[in-house]
């Protein structure tokens, strides 16, 4: 049983991003090193930094600390043929896949909403041939970002081997030159654009994740060619200099900074506000049918001018204060 899988030496699916470190160096050689003001708008950040065909990666954990404003703007501006790292992705990849923005995806987790179940719209999108797929594990994509952040072309690792996850990846295997042991070899992943929501950033892009988990955001920010940061609050440059240990992402990785209060809604923002469970339930119920899906995207994205209008639509600051109450353990999940 499974003979065709357990002894494979290389995955057979498509490698979407060039892992060559010298091509990456040629790009980074010309990246701006200046301490310049990068504060812009959501519309400008997406319009200027995200092109049709780009490969993007999203920070946070799919429904925790996600850059919702940028994701919705990508849908609104009708970006097409995007590649995506479906790394710990939930609402983020659902939006882009369902809206038809994506044509290829490195998958480690998509469609699922953890204990809430699955998204029917994401499932329809990912079951279609319209999205070319290559599978990995969460650890694999985390380490692929780390390899790119280190300026390498691959990283050895000891998982995936012997499984269909390896077969349907673009990983290979390698013999360790020191021990003779067999390892997986994961190609470095240099995304064109990373989009990351943080608690605080200064106008140059120095960014602080001040509460909760970091997932692979420190690695991702360093691996990506361009980085868009959205933050709950802009802070002064002096605050960064006063406590440099707290900087999660240094300015030189960053190309655009946008202040977006409540920017992770309906996701959890650690220390700030809890998940909007009513919204997730509404979303997952609505997208069960194609007609409902169309209605949701018209109502919540295409017919909404910007993120401020969206926040009004979901109940405004009053709703966000309720979600802050749950986050601060004042109320239960049921509000």
Partner 1 sequence: MCADYNPLELLVCVGSRVIEDNSTVFVGTGVPMAATMLAQKLHSPNVITIFEAGAVAPQMPGLPISVGDSRTSYKALIASTMNDVMEACQRGMVDYTFLGGAQIDMYGNLNSTMIGEDYQQPKARLPGSGGANDLASLCWRTIVITPMDNRRFVERVDFITTPGYLNGKGAREKAGLPANTGPYKVITNLCILGYDDETCRMRIESLHPGVSVEQVQDNCGFELLKAKSLEITPPPTQEELRILREEVDPDGYIIGR
Q: Which of 112, 261, 292, 325 binds partner 1 (CB under 8 A)?
A: 112
Residues with Cβ < 8 Å from 248, sequence gap 6 or more? Answer: 198, 207, 208, 209, 214, 217, 218, 221
Of residues 204 and 273, the one with the C-beta less far from partner 1: 273
The pair of structure tokens assigned to 306 is 């910007």
Does position 271 interact with partner 1 (CB under 8 A)? The reply is yes
Q: Which of 110, 120, 189, 208 binds partner 1 (CB under 8 A)?
A: 110
Does position 115 interact with partner 1 (CB under 8 A)? The reply is yes
Does position 132 interact with partner 1 (CB under 8 A)? The reply is yes
> For residue 132, what is the enclosing H or E element?
strand 132-135
Of residues 50 and 189, the one with the C-beta less far from partner 1: 189
Site for partner 1 in 214-243 (CB under 8 A): 214-219
Q: Which of 30, 128, 179, 245 binds partner 1 (CB under 8 A)?
A: 128
- Closest distance to partner 1 from the beta carbon of 220 (Å): 10
> For residue 291, what is the enclosing H or E element?
helix 290-297
The pair of structure tokens assigned to 57 is 């990666």
Of residues 40 and 134, the one with the C-beta less far from partner 1: 134
Asked if residue 105 lies in contact with residue 83, where contact means CB atoms within 8 angstroms, the answer is yes
- Closest distance to partner 1 from the beta carbon of 162 (Å): 3
How many residues touch partner 1 under the rule CB under 8 A: the total is 75
Return the bridge partners of 154, or none: 187
> Cα–Cα distances in Å, from 200 out to 109, 125, 231, 237, 249?
27, 34, 5, 11, 11
Site for partner 1 in 273-302 (CB under 8 A): 274-275, 277
Contacts with partner 1, 151-190, as mask; x by CB under 8 A? ------xxxxxxxxx--x----x-------xxxx------
How far, in Å, CA of 144 to CA of 17, rounded? 11
Of residues 165 and 286, the one with the C-beta less far from partner 1: 165
Q: Which of 29, 33, 129, 318 binds partner 1 (CB under 8 A)?
A: 129
Look at strands 207-208 and 182-187 and give their pairing. Answer: unpaired
Residues with Cβ < 8 Å from 126, sequence gap 6 or more? Answer: 97, 105, 107, 110, 111, 133
Of residues 40 and 89, the one with the C-beta less far from partner 1: 89
Q: Which of 62, 67, 187, 266 binds partner 1 (CB under 8 A)?
A: 62
Asked if residue 281 lies in contact with residue 119, where contact means CB atoms within 8 angstroms, the answer is no
Site for partner 1 in 73-92 (CB under 8 A): 86, 88
Q: Which of 41, 77, 138, 153 binds partner 1 (CB under 8 A)?
A: 138
Site for partner 1 in 185-214 (CB under 8 A): 211-214
Does position 114 interact with partner 1 (CB under 8 A)? The reply is yes
* Closest-CA residue to 323 (of 260, 235, 263, 258): 263
The pair of structure tokens assigned to 269 is 């923002």
DSSP category for residue 251: G
DSSP category for residue 252: G
Q: Which of 135, 200, 202, 259 binds partner 1 (CB under 8 A)?
A: 135
Of residues 161 and 314, the one with the C-beta less far from partner 1: 161
Q: Which of 143, 154, 251, 283 binds partner 1 (CB under 8 A)?
A: 143
- Closest distance to partner 1 from the beta carbon of 244 (Å): 19
How far, in Å, CA of 136 to CA of 171, rounded? 9
> Cα–Cα distances in Å, from 297 out to 95, 118, 308?
9, 18, 17
Contacts with partner 1, 19-48, as mask; x by CB under 8 A? ------------------------------
- Closest distance to partner 1 from the beta carbon of 195 (Å): 17
């Amino acid at each position: 049983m499974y003979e065709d899988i357990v002894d494979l030496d290389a995955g057979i699916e498509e490698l979407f991003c060039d892992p060559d470190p010298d091509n990456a160096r040629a790009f980074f050689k010309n990246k701006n090193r200046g301490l310049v003001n990068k504060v812009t708008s959501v519309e400008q950040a997406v319009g200027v930094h995200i092109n049709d065909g780009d490969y993007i990666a999203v920070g946070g954990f799919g429904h925790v600390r996600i850059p919702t404003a940028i994701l919705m703007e990508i849908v609104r501006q009708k970006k097409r043929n995007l590649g995506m790292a479906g790394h710990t992705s939930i609402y983020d990849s659902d939006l882009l896949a369902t809206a038809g923005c994506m044509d290829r995806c490195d998958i480690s987790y998509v469609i699922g909403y953890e204990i809430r179940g699955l998204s029917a719209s994401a499932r329809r999108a990912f079951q279609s041939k319209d999205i070319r797929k290559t599978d990995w594990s969460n650890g694999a994509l985390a380490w692929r970002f780390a390899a790119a952040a280190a300026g390498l072309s691959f990283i050895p690792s000891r998982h995936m081997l012997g499984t269909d996850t390896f077969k349907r990846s673009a990983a290979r295997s390698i013999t360790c030159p020191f021990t003779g042991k067999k390892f997986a070899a994961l190609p470095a992943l240099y995304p064109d654009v990373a989009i990351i929501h943080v608690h605080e950033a200064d106008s140059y892009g120095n960014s602080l994740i001040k509460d909760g988990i970091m997932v692979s955001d420190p690695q991702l920010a360093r691996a990506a060619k361009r980085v868009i940061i959205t933050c709950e609050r802009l802070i002064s440059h002096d605050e960064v200099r006063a406590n440099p240990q707290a900087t999660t992402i240094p300015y030189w990785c960053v190309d655009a900074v946008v202040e977006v209060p409540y920017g992770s809604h309906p996701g959890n923002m650690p220390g700030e506000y809890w998940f909007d469970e009513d919204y997730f339930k509404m979303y997952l119920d609505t997208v069960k049918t194609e007609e409902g899906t169309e209605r949701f995207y018209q109502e919540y994205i295409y017919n909404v001018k910007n993120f401020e209008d969206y926040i009004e639509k979901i109940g405004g600051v009053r709703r966000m204060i309720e979600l802050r109450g749950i986050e601060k353990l004042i109320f239960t999940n049921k509000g």
